[in-house]
Amino acid sequence: MLLLAQSSLWHWTQRADLALDNLAIGHWQLARVNAIVGHHEEALRHAERSLEIARDVNAAAATEIAADLPAVASDVVAAGVDPERAGEPSPGSELGDRPAYLLAYAHEAMALALGLAGDEATSRYHQAEARRLAREIDDDETRESLLTDLESSGGALLQQRD
């Protein structure tokens, strides 16, 4: 399982169409698998990387959304916005609730890894963040899958530590 997760991430890094969300998911997957097999330091390392990448995706999506907003009391063009393309759909608009999904799962991985490392307070913080972000996920099945992972799998893995 660990080798498959590592191979999957390696595969994505070799593709010309690599997207940051693929990296975030790959590191999330490695965090989870490392937690399952008891490699808690590796789990935390991959969880931190997943969260870092998910935050980058979220920031890029927020910037793209802000670029689509109408100017308010100013004719100043937002940084990174091509004035010739004003009014066109944002390049990230197809992401939908993907940034929230990526962030939520990255927080789920952090909660798991930190819980296994014995940092219960910070683990609870990341669990709460994952639940908060779950409310932003429009797809019911995806949201329920996340919440189930937070409640069942994460809890079972945390019991391994005890």
Mean pLDDT value of segment 55-79: 63
Exposure string for 11-37, b = 16+ CB within 10 A, e = fewer = ebeeeeeeeebbbbbbbbbbbbbbbbe
* Residue 71 placed within a domain: no
- Does residue 45 sit within a domain? yes
Domain that residue 17 falls in: 2-66+92-161
Question: Does residue 55 form part of some domain?
Answer: yes
**48 falls within a domain:** yes
User: Is 10 part of a structural domain of the chain?
Assistant: yes
CB 79 within 8 A of CB 49: no
Whether residue 76 lies inside any domain: the answer is no
pLDDT digit string (tens) for 108-137? 999 999 999 999 999 999 999 999 999 988
What is the value of pTM for the model shown?
A: 0.75
pLDDT for residue 83: 47
Domain count, the chain: 1
